[in-house]
């Protein structure tokens, strides 16, 4: 038998049974960046993109994505998420850092939900700004920190 948690005794993909795990507070924070031309960042900062408020739309998209992670990633559990925050740091000359934090009182972690929120927020920024800058790139999506659960506290090293 395998030590891989997402395989059953026959080697088939299987959702992990978390029913015996304790309900604990679990928090995960992830980040990613979308790099663009300085003039594209200036348009976003000024609210001058033709498609509308880029960051407000990306925030909503990230929140919606976190709630639907189990529909996108096959072996993730559907979760009753208690909090999702998606924030942005506009960094000169042309980078938007996206930070998502997801919180739950549950039996499994929310790392995938935080990572999904960041990914979709970045892709939404790309979609809304691509008419101005097709050379944008999404990079550096990673877990920054997680709290709770059996494995305890994790904080990423400097990247």
DSSP one-letter string for 22-81: PPEEEEEEEEEEEE--HHHHHHHHHT--TT--HHHHHHHHHHHHHHTHHHHSTTPPP---
* Tens digits of residue pLDDT in 35-80: 999 999 999 999 999 999 999 999 999 999 999 999 999 999 999 9
For 77-95, how does the pLDDT look when each residue is reduced to its tens digit (9 = 90+)?
999 999 999 999 999 999 9
Query: φ and ψ at 89, to 5 degrees?
Result: -125, 115
- Catalytic machinery residues: 127
Percentage, residues of the chain above pLDDT 70: 96
Specify the pLDDT at position 9: 78
Residue among 140, 142, 38, 155 nearest 93 (CA): 38
SS3 158: coil
Mean pLDDT of 13-35: 92
Cβ(82)–Cβ(95) under 8 Å? no
Preceding omega of 57 cis (within 30 degrees of 0) = no
pLDDT at 12 over 70: yes
């Amino acid at each position: 038998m395998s030590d891989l948690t997402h395989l059953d005794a026959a080697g088939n993909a299987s959702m992990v049974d978390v029913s015996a795990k304790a309900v604990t507070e679990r928090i995960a924070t992830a980040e990613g960046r979308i790099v663009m031309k300085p003039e594209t960042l200036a348009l976003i900062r000024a609210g001058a993109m033709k498609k509308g408020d880029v960051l407000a739309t990306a925030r909503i998209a990230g929140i919606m994505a976190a709630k639907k992670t189990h529909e996108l990633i096959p072996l993730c559990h559907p979760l009753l998420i208690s909090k999702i925050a998606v924030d942005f740091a506009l960094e000169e000359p042309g980078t938007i850092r996206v930070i998502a934090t997801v919180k739950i009182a549950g039996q499994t972690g929310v790392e995938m939900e935080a990572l999904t929120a960041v990914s979709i927020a970045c892709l939404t920024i790309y979609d809304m700004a691509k008419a101005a800058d097709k050379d944008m790139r999404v990079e550096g999506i990673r877990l920054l920190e997680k709290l709770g659960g059996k494995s305890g506290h994790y904080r990423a090293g400097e990247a």
